[in-house]
């Protein structure tokens, strides 16, 4: 926004009454006066710095036809929970083995355009000693990095949270860029059962906007992710109502912070009923409500909408994405899944070296399925029972 520029006016023999606020007494002309004059409007100011062209190129690369994002940015603690589910200890060696399995899937880059990493993974090597980042680049997969520092209670709200991590973000982002990251992710959440309060909405939107501006200034394409949690008994109409408010607030503050829309990606929740709602929605209903939301709130300048799965089953998330791509959209509508890509893969691996190849094939099957869904060509045929299992966790954190 244009800021007021102070202009020192020295004593002048004549002062026009129009220079004064109505109702003020005209002072003696001998008194020096400081006036704040608004600067002339210069049109929309976009501050993406020297990285503007690169940001646009990176965003378009990630939002390329038939491809989406593999979210493998679980914190070490959350990764430990997943390893525990297959009977493995939460050690760096086990985390390294699992992450190596993911990034070395042959042909993964045909369906995956970006991979969000946790900080440990960004600086980690595979079990063969190659940098994880280099392995991804060889697969034509853009490395990304989770930059937020997690959720903490929001004082003064209705038992809601806010996302921390702005302190030191600029220097961390610069270091991540040097390490090879080219996009970033910041996740904050909105809870429908708890309101959401106006305070929580504003905090979420402002934090995302500041993060996005800082990321672009340091060469990282920001993924903007205000996740509307699945928790609750509410119907799809209530989710739609809240989502409209969330995205209106988010784009207001993105504009206030001069974020370049052509150099961002979005990671929204699909518009679905609450996880505990008795009335379930079909993929067609989810697609209808979600696309209606996007068309009302998201500028076409944004290159890609990379949906999170939010605890849906692997098949459910893929079917919903496919339904959204049955007609043309002004943006690339795709996926940024974590559990909805990895669940069957993890279970298949089970920590057994002899099962690595089979687990990689399971991940590739899911990546191919979502690639087809991005193109609107997924049928759902031949899916395993494991892929149909829901993964909702109440109050999910990671």
Q: Does 44 reside within a domain?
A: no
Kindly state the tokens that stand for 165.
């991590």
Q: Provide the percentage of residues in the chain whose pLDDT is more than 70.
A: 83
Q: Does 298 reside within a domain?
A: yes
Q: Does 43 reside within a domain?
A: no
Q: Does 20 reside within a domain?
A: yes
Same domain, 214 and 88: yes
Report DSSP state, residue 159.
S
| 3-class DSSP state of 162 | strand
Q: For residue 217, what is the domain's CATH number?
A: 3.20.20.70
What is the predicted pLDDT for the residue at 275?
Answer: 86
Ordered DSSP codes for 68-123: EEEEE---HHHHHHHHHTTT----HHHHHHHHHHHHT-TTGGGTEEEEEE-HHHHT
Same domain, 107 and 15: no
Same domain, 174 and 314: yes
Considering only residues 307 and 2, tell me which one the structure prediction assigns the higher pLDDT: 307
Q: Does 378 reside within a domain?
A: yes
Same domain, 172 and 98: yes
Is pLDDT above 50 for 212? yes
* Residue 264 binned pLDDT confidence (cut-offs 50, 70, 90): very high
What is the predicted pLDDT for the residue at 387?
Answer: 58
Q: How large is the average pLDDT for residues 12-26?
A: 37
* Residue 195 binned pLDDT confidence (cut-offs 50, 70, 90): confident
Considering only residues 125 and 11, tell me which one the structure prediction assigns the higher pLDDT: 125
Q: Does 195 reside within a domain?
A: yes
Same domain, 23 and 169: no
Q: Provide the percentage of residues in the chain whose pLDDT is more than 90.
A: 79
Is pLDDT above 90 for 18? no
Ordered DSSP codes for 246-307: HHHHHHHHHHHTT--GGG-EE-PPP----TT-SS---HHHHHHHHHHHHHHH--TT--EEEE
pLDDT in tens, 24-49: 333 333 434 444 444 444 445 555 56
Q: Which segment of 19-23, 165-169, 185-189, 249-253 scores lowest on mean pLDDT? A: 19-23
The pLDDT mean for the chain works out to 87
Question: How many structural domains is the chain composed of?
Answer: 2
What is the predicted pLDDT for the residue at 230?
Answer: 87
What is the predicted pLDDT for the residue at 45?
Answer: 52
What is the helix (H) or strand (E) element at residue 144, kind and residue range? strand 142-146
Same domain, 222 and 338: yes
Q: Is 225 a catalytic residue?
A: yes
For residue 335, what are the β-bridge partners? 307
Q: Does 396 reside within a domain?
A: no
Q: Is the peptide bond before 196 cis (omega within 30 degrees of 0)?
A: yes
pLDDT in tens, 319-372: 999 999 999 999 999 999 998 999 999 999 999 999 999 999 999 999 999 999
Same domain, 25 and 106: no
**Active-site hit among 185, 267, 314, 383:** 267
Q: Does 394 reside within a domain?
A: no
Same domain, 267 and 308: yes
Same domain, 294 and 380: yes
Is pLDDT above 50 for 6? no
Q: How large is the average pLDDT for residues 219-231?
A: 95
Is pLDDT above 60 for 52? yes
What is the predicted pLDDT for the residue at 313?
Answer: 87
* Residue 289 binned pLDDT confidence (cut-offs 50, 70, 90): very high
**Active-site hit among 160, 225, 316, 383:** 225
Q: 176: closest CA among 254, 240, 101, 123?
A: 123
With 0-12 / 13-18 / 19 or more C-beta atoms within 10 angstroms meaning exposed / middle / buried, residue 92 is exposed
Angle between helix 198-217 and helix 169-179 axes, rounded to 10 deg: 50
Interatomic CA distance for residues 330 and 276, integer angstroms: 33
Same domain, 26 and 58: no
Q: Which residue has the tokens 């062209």?
A: 53
Q: Is 316 a catalytic residue?
A: no
Same domain, 371 and 243: yes
* Residue 20 binned pLDDT confidence (cut-offs 50, 70, 90): very low
Is pLDDT above 90 for 209? yes
Q: 310: closest CA among 339, 290, 334, 288?
A: 339
> What residues make up the domain containing 8?
4-38
CB 319 within 8 A of CB 380: yes
pTM of the model: 0.84
Same domain, 28 and 165: no
* Dihedral angle sign, alpha carbons of residues 68, 73, 74, 80: positive
Report DSSP state, residue 219.
T
């Amino acid at each position: 926004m244009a800021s007021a520029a102070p202009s020192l006016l020295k004593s002048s023999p004549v002062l026009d009454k129009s220079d004064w606020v109505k109702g003020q007494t005209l002072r003696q002309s001998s008194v020096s006066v400081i006036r704040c004059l608004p600067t002339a409007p210069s049109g929309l100011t976009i501050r993406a710095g020297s990285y503007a062209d690169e940001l646009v190129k990176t965003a378009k690369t990630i939002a390329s036809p038939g491809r989406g994002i593999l979210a493998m940015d679980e914190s070490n603690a959350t990764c430990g929970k997943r390893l525990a589910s297959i009977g493995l200890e939460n050690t760096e060696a086990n985390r390294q083995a699992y992450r190596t399995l993911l990034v070395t899937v042959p042909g993964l880059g045909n369906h995956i355009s970006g991979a969000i990493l946790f900080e440990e993974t960004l600086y980690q090597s595979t079990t063969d000693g190659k940098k994880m980042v280099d392995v991804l680049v060889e697969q034509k997969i853009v490395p990304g990095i989770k930059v937020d520092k997690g959720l903490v209670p929001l004082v003064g709200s209705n038992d809601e949270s806010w996302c921390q991590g702005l302190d030191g973000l600029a220097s961390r982002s610069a270091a991540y860029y040097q390490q090879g990251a080219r996009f970033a992710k910041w996740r904050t959440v909105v809870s429908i059962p708890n309101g959401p309060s106006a305070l929580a909405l504003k905090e979420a939107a402002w934090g995302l906007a500041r993060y996005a501006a800082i990321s672009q200034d340091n060469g990282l394409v920001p993924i903007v992710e205000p996740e509307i949690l699945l928790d609750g008994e509410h119907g799809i109409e209530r989710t739609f109502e809240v989502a409209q408010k969330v995205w209106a607030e988010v784009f207001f503050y993105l504009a206030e912070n001069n974020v370049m829309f052509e150099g961002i990606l979005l990671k929204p929740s699909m518009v679905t009923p609450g996880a505990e709602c008795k009335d379930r929605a079909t993929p067609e209903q989810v697609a209808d409500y979600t696309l209606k939301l996007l068309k009302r709130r998201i500028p076409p300048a944004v290159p890609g909408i990379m949906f999170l799965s939010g605890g849906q089953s692997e098949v459910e998330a893929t079917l919903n994405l496919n339904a959204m791509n049955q007609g043309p959209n002004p943006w690339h509508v795709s996926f940024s899944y974590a559990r909805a890509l990895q669940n069957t893969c993890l279970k298949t691996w089970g920590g057994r070296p002899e099962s690595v190849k089979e687990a990689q094939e399971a991940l590739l099957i899911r990546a191919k399925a979502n690639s087809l869904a991005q193109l609107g060509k997924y049928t759902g045929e031949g899916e395993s029972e494991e892929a149909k299992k829901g993964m909702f966790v109440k109050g999910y954190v990671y």
